[in-house]
Structure 1
Amino acid sequence: MSGSPDGLPPLREVIATHGLAAKKSLGQNFLLDLNLTRRIARAAGPLEGVEVFEVGPGPGGLTRALLIEGAARVVAVERDARCLPALAEVSAAHGGRLEVIEGDALQVQAAEIMTAPWRVVANLPYYVGTELLVRWLTPGSWPPGWESLTLMFQKEVAERIVAGPGSKTWGRLSVLAQWRCDARIAFDLPARAFTPPPKVDSAVVVLTPLPEPRFPAEPRLLDRVVGAAFGQRRKMLRQSLKTATPAAAALCEAAGVTETLRADDVSLEQFCALARALGEASAG
């Protein structure tokens, strides 16, 4: 035994016992150090009495940390059937507070199985991380059922989420995240912390939803404007926004935004103004 707070063997032993070599096709890189996984769990704030939704638990390193830190219930979605026996051992050791759903997280509606408010804490598989984040940021209504997202990404993705205008990493993810949330990088994790080590470092991002978006805009129209602008980020708005509306220059004028700006230099407030102007032009 490990001397681990939950009495379970170290993750290295669990992986060896169950033959859980990480699969590249599933974007798996396991974090084996319980001190690090508990640090991620604590970044989500005090977990006593809290429900947590986790994606891609693998052999259960972060899962164990969430339960040790006091989560009342953890619902974990795992695609890799090889991991299910190891996760069943975690559930048994923690009095059944862990529920495992075998399947694709893109097909699971957390709002249907969690009790609001819940928190999302996950070391996201690289291949679905960005898509899941966009879905969590664009629910049917706001504020969402989740009260925080504590997510591990490749460091370059994390930097895009928290970037500001004027930076080369300012983009669609930055706008979607910061329009409705406070976003910050809690800490970085070097590639060597993982087994096997990925080619890039990682970072843990914490997003906390605002009661209302920072500036009024219709989500669909905001995404349309932002997608057009960053789709041709080297072009001026009067050109790049033509994929959103033929009258791109008139749209900029109506929004009070200089048409010669490029997407990198357009602020969140200006993007929202462009989205409102697009809505007014469509209504007219």
Structure 2
Amino acid sequence: MNAMLRRGWFDRLLMLGLCLLALAWMLPLLWVLGLSFKPNELLQIRTDLVFAPPYTLANYLDIVQSSQVFRWLGNSAWVALCQTVGVLVLSSLAGYGFARTEFPGRKLIFAIVMFGLAVPPQSTFIPLHRLFSDWNLQNTFAGLILPGLAAPFGVYLMTQYFKAIPMDLEEAAMLDNASRLKTFLTVILPLTLPAQATLGIFTFLGCWNDYLWPLVIATNPDMYTLTRGLASTQTNFAQSEGLGFLMSQAVFAGLPVLIIYFFFQKYLVTAVAGTGR
């Protein structure tokens, strides 16, 4: 009885500690959200009255009134969607190949793919830019999408998830004269929905928030993504003269990703648990 009582107090203290850590993690986000509704004139004087009136929607109206903001929003949505679909297709095929098939050099190729996790993306900007410039892909959707299709993390995640699926299911399908492709599409792939959702969230999030590659490859304002376009509207004194406008841009750019994560968050835990089996 005493052991159960101590365990109950321990669980309560642990939950309290987690809630405090979550609150500490959310405070910067709440601060940004509060600043986005404050008048810029007031923020030039003081920034400590974040959660006290007055409030204004002027910062968000300034974003909406920008002539190209919705074009940038559409560009980001299209690039992120295409890149997410491409990564899911390629990572699923590669992961199934590494997990379920035997071919010469499989372990070596997989090790090379995993080595890509240790290569900083910034280190490949110069060769990628020269390559895409030679191919006349600068200021094109292909130039924005193609580099992100190389996803070592996606290959690793899908490989581990396919390994966790029992072989009996695949063998039973093949005994019914199902081809490997049909088995993959109708039996194995539907079981990887949690991993697919998780990889899709991470890919979409990374592409949506990417700033450096669009900064390099997109020089035409009509091809700007949302992060690149919003950054181009900021002045050198945005932090002091338009802090509320700057914070509203951060909220506006992050809101679509937050909505997507809200609908797919239940798959994250399932996918991580599946890779550890």
Which TM bucket (shorter chain)? under 0.3
- Greater share of helix: 2
- Which of 1 and 2 has greater Rg? 2
- Greater share of strand: 1
Instruction: Name the TM-score, length of structure 2 as normaliser.
Output: 0.22
Q: Which has the higher contact order (CA 8 A, sep 6+)?
A: 2
Instruction: Name the TM-score, length of structure 1 as normaliser.
Output: 0.22
